Structure 1
Amino acid sequence: MVIFIKVPADEQTKDLHILQKIADRIKVDREGYEFEIARRILEVLEGKRYLLILDGVRRTPDGIWEKLDISKDIKDSKVVITTHYPLALKSKCVQRKVQLERLSTNEAWKMFRDIVGDNLLPDIPTARQVCTRFCSCLPLLISPIARSFKYQESPTDWQSAFSEWTPWPEVGVDGLKELYSNLEICYQLLGDESKQKCFLYASLYPANSKIYTNYLVECCIVQGFLGDVDEATKYSAMRSRGTKVILRHLVNVAFLEEGEQMRYIKMKDLYRQLALYISSKFSDLECRTYVDNEEHDEPLRSKSWQHARWISMVSSKRDGLPTNQNCGSLQTLLLQKNLKLVEIPPAYFGSMGNLIVLNLYGTKIRSLPSLSGLTKLKAFYLNGCLDLTIIPSQVQPLRHLEVFDIRDTRVNFVPCLESLRCLRISYIGSLNQRGDASNDHPISVVQKLEELTIEVKSLPQCCNEVEIVMQKFASLKNLTTFRCKFPSSETLEKIRKTIESWRDEKQLLHFKFLWDVKTQNI
């Protein structure tokens, strides 16, 4: 059994937090005191061969050793720690130390050349010296910097770039600030603002977590990173540029990692910390970020909320939100996967008049507070809020909303919002409800809609209404993408024929049917 634990990059990390991560990894209860969690872990590990890796330890791990009784001689099982900090190596339990040496000058230069390619290397006599000196023969620096030069869209002024570097320090406390300072050249070499802001925005999500590409690009679109959205702008075109140009470039230069052919991306902890470091330097609040560290017992920093443009509490384990906040500058609020969030105060969003992105995915809320102050909101994610009920009139103030995801909720109506471009809903019963006195079908109101996803939950009702509903959707002149998911294949042939004829008439760019066995494509 291999148990890999990424230790939070914070000096305040306690043994309890590490034990909880180990418990999560081997799927045992993480609640309780340290000795209770340790006992459960020991019960699972007893008699098993295991390799426990603690990555990024900042202090002596003796406390973990003792609680898990690792200090005794456990046959065929090992514990490995990785660290940049000499203090962590002073543990009485460490039996062997392995120091990773720097590359030789020739090895470092070869690595740089192999990545960049000889045909792209500039004819600068000092290139080798600068590369090895400023990167200090460290692969951690050589790889991203070389890739940043390789993927420049226009000829790079290498000499100018080198002149902005400062040599890697021979002496330092931990070298992290110096590391980020040297890696910042890679950020500058991104060139255009779109790539830079998308990189910084991706740091709002936990390191090494899956960030689904379509979702991230949607957020970047509504934030304006990819240009203005007007009547002539197509989401499909902006989504394509966001994925194939912006995110692809960030993958090429190693800032992001690709997953499942760009279905999702990940950001390594090193580059996330770099992005947060860069964001912290913005004095004009352009990309001022607050990321909550849910691992610790420290109180939420209220003042940081008030000055932030982007706030992330993704996967937070807190059971409350800061109160009495004036968040007039806030543009993004990410609260998804916060399983302890069951209620939001009625007037909580009242001071968030500039909020553009709000994500409540997977929370336990049953109702929404007043949304009347969110007049600039453009992307709203409520999917996975299984207990949530909304009435149509609650969302009517969201007149600028472009992206709305209400799948897997108790919501069963088509929102009559004229600005909608992307809508994802669950089909529970009839979709004929609307929130005003008009006799028009609600689908006729969303004429700007370009992308539609329906997850069918009530199959008998769907069978009765499918042709009527499809005809209504066919009236949407801007619709280019349609996805439909069914709990079985029972009505598939009938619906397929309806959509096939509709596709010929509408010239849909994409359409997909899914049935929920293991969400198989048809």
Structure 2
Amino acid sequence: MKTIIGNIERSSLDIEDLASLQEKLQELLNGKRYLLVLDDVWNEDQQKWDNLRAVLKVGASGASVLTTTRLEKVGSIMGTLQPYELSNLSQEDCWLLFIQRAFRHQEEISPNFVAIGKEIVKKSGGVPLAAKTLGGLLRFKREEREWEHVRDSEIWNLPQDESSIMPALKLSYHHLPLDLRQCFVYCAVFLKDTEMEKEKLISLWMAHGFLLSKGNMELEDVGNEVWKELCLRSLFQEIEVKDGKTYFKMHDLIHDLATSLFSARASTSNIRETNVKKYSHMMSIGFAKVESSYSHLLLEKFVSLRVLNLSYLKLNQLPSSIGDLVHLRYLDLSFNREMRSLPKQLCKLQNLQTLDLQYCISLSCLPKETSKLGSLRNLLLDSCSELTCMPPRIGSLTCLKTLSHFVVGGKKGGQLGELGNLNLYGSIEIRHLERVKNDKDAKEANLSAKENLQSLIISWDLFEQRRYESEEVEVLEALKPHPNLKSLKVTGFRGLRLP
């Protein structure tokens, strides 16, 4: 019900108790004609569906609910009409799906590949996902013997489920290059149907050492290539770009495959004092989520951690023992809205690559010795609205690729020149431009050379002492970005003309 309400109002909802949710949904639907689509339903609890049906009855005549499911029992529980059973795709339609993935646009297809390909398509059992996945697998193979190897694989002889799809998915996995396999399987740490963020996933791959250097390529670019190849193999879907970030999902059957391959030793878990010893070695390569009351215990016991997720825990401070996690590469502290500062011991983490502080809305400053984090590549500060300045010498973090926010300081450092030598990717918001003395200082940001920046937000604070309008025009002109920039937003600008 919470999801339905959120989709109607196009916003998140804080209500949790069932009675309030029912009342809210009835209020939204009362007397209205609606079409509600419930896709891929698995719940077989008759009572829950009866409760939902009672809420939905407030709609006007003609209001309808359309449900898709793979379970016959769900159809009989929910339906007032006879369920419509979809047949498998025809071989012709499966072939069309297959060649869309297996061959590039306008690529000439030899008769031998067509013959072998059609034999492979027959093994898809008329399942669209199987046809697409097999096509994605063979897109990277251009030798007849490679296609014959897929056609004749012993995996087709394994016991099949009713959809006949798992052999096709397993084949796709077994034909992945070794470095792609571990990147794919790692996605099992996310819950099924989770909307994943590409940039975050690449940072996690980096933290675990899954990405291999290729010549002069940055690891972020290597990760992007891996992600694109997994997409071309139909292992990722529902790709969407929002606010300059790329989001995607895994089909639930593909997620099941990743989960079945994921070692139980690397599984996620909530950590309690009673089972810390049991999980200590597993957590050395795991993705940790811990209960707030035991966060200090984790920091003392899990000194081999590479990835630590302490988001949404309502922490108001981080224990100084965080500095003992010398192998830590990824630290997520996001959505700890009461955290005002970070301990200086954090700056001992010489291997830290990603520090996520998004929505730490009370955070007023970063440690003065942040510049000692020599391996830091991603500093995420979205919605850290109380941040008053940047730490000294942040420009010395030459590995830094993502700096989502930069707050121009007053007289004591934190000037735009700190950005000059940073090769930044993605997006950045630069705040408090009224503190920039002149256009010369603005030019030192060297935005015109930052070819990998996609989005730029620059803002003047309306409530601080301002300079002349003409000076603001000069500052804005000096901040000229690289032509590759795709999005530019300017707020608080008082100039009478644009440069």
Return the TM-score normalized by structure 1. 0.71
Change in Cα spacing, 1:210 to 1:414, as seen in structure 2 (3 Å) is farther
Alignment partners' CA distance in 2, 1:426 and 1:406: 9
What is the rounded CA distance, in whole Å, between the counterparts of 2:324 and 2:159 in structure 1?
45
Shift of 1:387: 1.0
User: Residue in 1 aligned with 2:399?
Assistant: 421
Kindly tell me: are residues 191 and 64 of structure 1, through their superposed partners in 2, closer, same or farther at Cα, counting changes over 3 Å?
Answer: same
Q: Quick one: percent identity of the two aligned structures?
A: 16
Are the counterparts in 1 of residues 356 and 380 from structure 2 also a CA contact under 8 Å?
A: yes
Structure 1 residues without counterparts, runs of 5 or longer: 1-18, 293-297, 435-440
Return the offset for 1:98.
1.6
The aligned amino acid for 1:290 is T
Deviation of the 1:495 alpha carbon: 2.6
Alpha-carbon distance change, 85 to 137 in structure 1, aligned in 2, over 3 angstroms: same
Equivalent residue, structure 2, for 1:191: 177
Q: Is the 8 A contact 1:371 1:397 kept in 2?
A: no
**CA offset digits 1:113-141 (Å, max 9, x no partner):** 565358267569776455423x2222221
Q: CA deviation at 1:427?
A: 1.9
- Report the CA distance between 1:149 and its aligned residue: 0.9
- Which of 482, 490, 493 is the matching residue for 2:473? 493
What is aligned with 2:377? 402
Match of 1:311? Answer: 287
Alignment-mate amino acid for residue 159 of structure 1:
E
CA distance 1:273–1:373, shift in 2 (3 Å): farther
Contact 1:414–1:443 at 8 Å: present in 2 too?
no
Residue pairs, 1:68-107, within 5 angstroms: 68=52, 69=54, 75-91=61-77, 94-105=80-91, 107=93
Residues 9-40 of structure 1: CA deviation (Å, up to 9, x unaligned):
xxxxxxxxxx3323333348552432232122
1:237-386 residue pairs with structure 2 within 5 A? 238-243=219-224, 245-257=225-237, 258-260=239-241, 264-270=246-252, 273-274=255-256, 276-277=258-259, 279-280=261-262, 282=263, 288-290=266-268, 307-308=282-283, 309-311=285-287, 324-325=297-298, 326-335=301-310, 338=312, 341-343=314-316, 345-347=318-320, 349=322, 352-364=325-337, 365-369=339-343, 370-371=345-346, 374-386=349-361
C-alpha spacing 1:271/1:361, structure 2 compared with 1 (3 Å): farther
CA distance in 1, matches of 2:95, 2:158: 16
Counterpart code for 2:232: N
CA contact (8 A) 2:30 2:58 kept: no
Within 2, Cα distance between the matches of 1:20 and 1:301? 33
Aligned-residue RMSD, C-alpha? 4.6
Contact 2:116/2:147 (<8 A) preserved: no
Segment of structure 1 superposing worse, 140-149 or 324-333: 324-333
Contact 1:379/1:402 (<8 A) preserved: yes
What is the Cα deviation at residue 142 of structure 1? 1.5
Distance in 2, matches of 1:481 and 1:92, equals 51
**Residues 392-401 or 37-46, more deviating:** 392-401
Matches of 1:100 and 1:266 in 2, distance apart? 26
Task: Give the SS at the match of 1:393.
Answer: coil
Query: 1:217–1:239: 8 Å Cα contact kept in structure 2?
Result: yes
Q: Offset at 1:179?
A: 4.4
Rounded Cα–Cα distance in structure 2 between residues aligned with 1:60 and 1:354: 45
Which of 25, 37, 54 is equivalent to 1:41?
25
Is this contact kept in 2: 1:481–1:509, CA < 8 A? no
Contact preservation (8 Å) 1:59, 1:87: no
- Hey, what's the Cα distance between the residues in 1 that align with 2:190 and 2:161? 32
The structural deviation recorded for 1:109 is 4.7
Structure with greater proportional helix content: 2
Instruction: Give the match's secondary structure for 2:47.
Output: helix
Counterpart contact for 1:29–1:37, Cα < 8 Å? no
* 1: CA distance, partners of 2:382 / 2:102: 45
After TM superposition, give the deviation of residue 181 of structure 1 in Å.
5.2
Contact 2:101 / 2:232 at 8 angstroms: preserved in 1? no
Q: Distance in 2 between matches of 1:301 and 1:509?
A: 54
Q: Deviations over 1:383-419 (max 9, x none)?
A: 3322113343363553332332335421512453644
The correspondence for 2:46, drawn from 54, 57, 62, is 62
Q: Which runs of 5+ in 2 are unaligned?
A: 462-468
Partner Cα separation in structure 1 for residue 220 and residue 261 of structure 2: 25
- Displacement, 1:180? 4.5
Distance (whole Å) between structure 2 residues aligned to residue 79 and residue 269 of structure 1: 23
| Deviations 1:177-233, CA, capped at 9 Å, x for gaps | x7445412212333251x33443455555666665555544554565444349xx95
Kindly indicate whether the alpha-carbon contact (under 8 Å) linking 1:376 and 1:400 is maintained by their aligned counterparts in 2: yes
| Aligned 8 A contact 1:413 1:432 in 2 | no
Separation in 2, partners of 1:155, 1:260: 37
TM-score, structure 2 normalization: 0.73
